[in-house]
């Protein structure tokens, strides 16, 4: 049967993410991914030598986009807190399935080694973006609470949150930051 999509690697990543999010990384086999795609396991191994390599590729866009958001805000000097928080919310919303895999299968996240530490540094970096040189221990706690809450709302199950929910969530996060 001819491939539906010329980008087999992307098709594999999408199917893997779907199955990892539904069943968990540990409970999903490469055989299941290959069967869903109607390809052989050998064809899947050609593109991804291991399930861990596939997981790393599934997580990579979240890490790259998050790093770009933070680096851009850090380079800006004093970015608009609202604009930064809206961008963070949208990042989390776009990658809800990836977060689902990482949060509900901690073994999967641990297999990637540097993913959990990277994600944990994002909150401190976000605090520095939001408070700059005025960052204190109390403000760090407020920022972690605000950014973590924002992330959790973006991650809520059900339909993808819309602009109204994003705006009200960012408003709440800004109120938290005011202390």
**CATH class of the domain whose range is 59-178:** mainly alpha
Q: Using alpha carbons only, what angle is made at residue 51 by residues 46 and 57, rounded to the nearest 5 degrees?
A: 80
Q: How confident is the model at residue 158 (pLDDT cuts 50, 70, 90)?
A: low
Give 63-115 pLDDT, tens digit per residue.
999 999 999 999 998 889 999 999 999 999 999 999 888 888 887 778 888 88
76: three-class secondary structure by DSSP? helix
Domain locations in the chain? 59-178
- Burial class from Cβ neighbours inside 10 Å (0-12, 13-18, 19+) for residue 92 reads buried
The tokens for 69 are 């958001």
Give 6-40 pLDDT, tens digit per residue.
688 999 999 999 999 999 999 999 999 999 999 99
**pTM: predicted TM-score of the whole model, two decimal places:** 0.87
The tokens for 89 are 């919310």
What pLDDT sits at residue 1?
A: 43
């Amino acid at each position: 049967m001819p491939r539906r999509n010329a980008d087999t690697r992307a098709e594999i990543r999408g199917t893997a993410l779907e199955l990892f999010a539904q069943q968990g990384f540990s409970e999903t086999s490469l055989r299941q991914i290959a069967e869903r795609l109607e390809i052989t396991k050998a064809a899947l191994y050609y593109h991804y030598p291991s399930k861990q390599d596939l997981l790393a590729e599934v997580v990579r866009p979240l890490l790259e986009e998050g790093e770009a958001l933070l680096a851009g805000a850090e380079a800006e000097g004093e970015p608009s807190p609202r604009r930064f928080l809206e961008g963070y919310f949208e990042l989390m919303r776009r990658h809800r399935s990836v977060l689902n895999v990482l949060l509900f299968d901690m073994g999967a996240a641990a297999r990637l080694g540097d993913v959990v530490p990277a994600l944990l540094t994002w909150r401190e970096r976000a605090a520095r973006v939001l408070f700059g040189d005025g960052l204190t221990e109390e403000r760090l706690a407020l920022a972690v609470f605000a950014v973590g809450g924002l992330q959790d709302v973006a991650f809520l199950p059900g339909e993808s949150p819309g602009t109204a929910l994003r705006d009200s969530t960012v408003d709440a996060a800004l109120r938290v930051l005011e202390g």
